[in-house]
């Protein structure tokens, strides 16, 4: 299954660059016309989403292109500990599939843009298949049909994302007491490199290798391992200067049925709840 973050950004480099320039002046920009359609398609914002490992993968189309697409420029680097993009969604999942989560001690985010899809409109097709499922004669049949629908279309709708670059940092150390001080050193090295990229200051630590206890890899390309400060600098420049990015964070994700009419939404929630309570 194709990971949603694995879609290449070759077609969107120019748009990201232009959006960044205008957003520096206006901060918020409404995206319209072909640019809007392109971003909706590139980031699958009209499709439902399914949990796939540490990320989300696209299902079938659930939304029309009639909502409002907003972009905000972002430039701040962020370092997270124990952040998994889909962590908060897994416990809420109604699907039967198991989710193999690969823990990371740190994720380093280089955000370029935040994109928000507002006032989303559900397609008639999705509404109709949900309504047909609710007409089933018994609760078990309704629940199984709903699960099949969510497995096909996706059980979540993404409303707000960050575009940029992300590093996953994995440790060979086993206990938190050993990891904690080494993480602080690694964070300091990362911020030194960040300051070098943003301010142009010379970083005397460029040629010092990162601690052997950690493996730094591009979240988009697991084959790309970063060993030195100058390699991390080149990686950061790829996003800050070349505006090359992919989805690094799902800031707001809601259940797909939340956008349905109130009565349908209520019936879906009751059907899922009743089935879960009976098992």
Give which of 221, 226, 247, 209 is closest to 169, Cα–Cα.
226
Is it the case that residue 137 has pLDDT exceeding 70? yes
Tens digit of pLDDT for each residue in 213-226?
Answer: 677 888 887 677 88
What was the pLDDT predicted at 208?
72
Tens digit of pLDDT for each residue in 177-188?
Answer: 566 677 777 777
What was the pLDDT predicted at 88?
56
Among 108-112, 240-244, 273-277, the minimum mean pLDDT is found in 273-277
Strand partners, 165: 110
Q: Which carries the bigger pLDDT value, residue 83 or residue 37? A: 37
Give which of 5, 71, 69 is closest to 37, Cα–Cα.
69
Among 49-58, 63-72, 183-192, the minimum mean pLDDT is found in 183-192
What was the pLDDT predicted at 8?
32
Among 45-54, 108-117, 254-263, the range with the most confident prediction by mean pLDDT is 254-263
Is it the case that residue 151 has pLDDT exceeding 90? yes
CA distance 145 to 130: 9
CA distance 31 to 19: 9
What was the pLDDT predicted at 86?
58
Q: Which carries the bigger pLDDT value, residue 90 or residue 167? A: 167
Diameter of the chain by CA atoms?
Answer: 71
pLDDT classification of 19: cutoffs 50, 70, 90 = very low
Tell me the average pLDDT of the chain.
77
What was the pLDDT predicted at 103?
54
pLDDT classification of 37: cutoffs 50, 70, 90 = very high
Output the 3-class SS for the chain.
Answer: CCCHHHCCCHHHHHHHHHHHHHHHHHCEEEECHHHHHHHHHHCCCCEEEEEECCEEEEEEECECCCCEEEEEECCCCEEEECCCCCHHHHCCCCCCCCCCCCCCCEEEEEEEEEEEEECCCECHHHHHHHHHHHCCCCHHHHHHHHHHHHHHHCCEEEEEEEEEEEEEEEECCCCHHHHHHHHHHHHHHHHHHHHHHHHCCCCCCCCCECCCCEEEEECCCCCCEECEHHHHHHHHHHHHCCCCCEEEEEEEEEEHHHHCCHHHHHHHHHHHHHHHHHC
What was the pLDDT predicted at 78?
79
Give which of 101, 134, 136, 120 is closest to 256, Cα–Cα.
120
pLDDT classification of 24: cutoffs 50, 70, 90 = very low
């Amino acid at each position: 299954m194709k990971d949603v973050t694995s879609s290449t950004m070759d077609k969107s480099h120019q748009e990201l660059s232009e959006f960044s320039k205008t957003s520096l002046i206006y901060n918020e920009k409404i995206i319209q016309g072909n640019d809007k359609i392109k971003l909706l398609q590139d980031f699958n914002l009209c499709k439902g989403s399914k949990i796939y490992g540490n990320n989300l993968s696209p299902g079938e189309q659930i939304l029309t292109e009639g909502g409002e697409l907003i972009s905000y420029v972002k430039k701040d680097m962020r370092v997270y500990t124990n952040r998994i993009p889909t962590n908060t969604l897994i416990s809420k999942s109604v699907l039967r599939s198991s989710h193999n989560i690969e823990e990371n001690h740190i994720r380093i985010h280089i955000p370029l843009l935040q994109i928000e899809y507002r006032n989303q409109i559900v397609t008639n097709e999705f509404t109709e298949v949900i309504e047909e499922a609710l007409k089933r004669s018994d609760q078990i049949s309704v629940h199984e049909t709903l699960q099949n629908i969510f497995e096909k279309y996706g059980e979540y709708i993404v409303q707000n994302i960050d575009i940029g670059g992300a590093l996953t940092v994995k440790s060979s150390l086993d206990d938190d007491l050993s990891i904690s001080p080494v993480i602080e050193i690694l964070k300091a090295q990362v911020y030194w490199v960040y300051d070098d990229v943003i301010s142009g200051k010379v970083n005397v630590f460029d040629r010092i290798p990162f601690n052997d206890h950690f493996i730094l890899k591009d979240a988009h390309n697991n084959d790309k391992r970063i060993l030195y400060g100058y390699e991390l600098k080149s990686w950061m420049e790829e996003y800050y200067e070349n505006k090359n990015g992919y989805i690094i964070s799902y800031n707001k994700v809601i259940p797909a049925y939340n956008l349905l009419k109130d009565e349908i939404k209520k019936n879906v929630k009751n059907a899922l709840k009743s089935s879960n309570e009976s098992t």
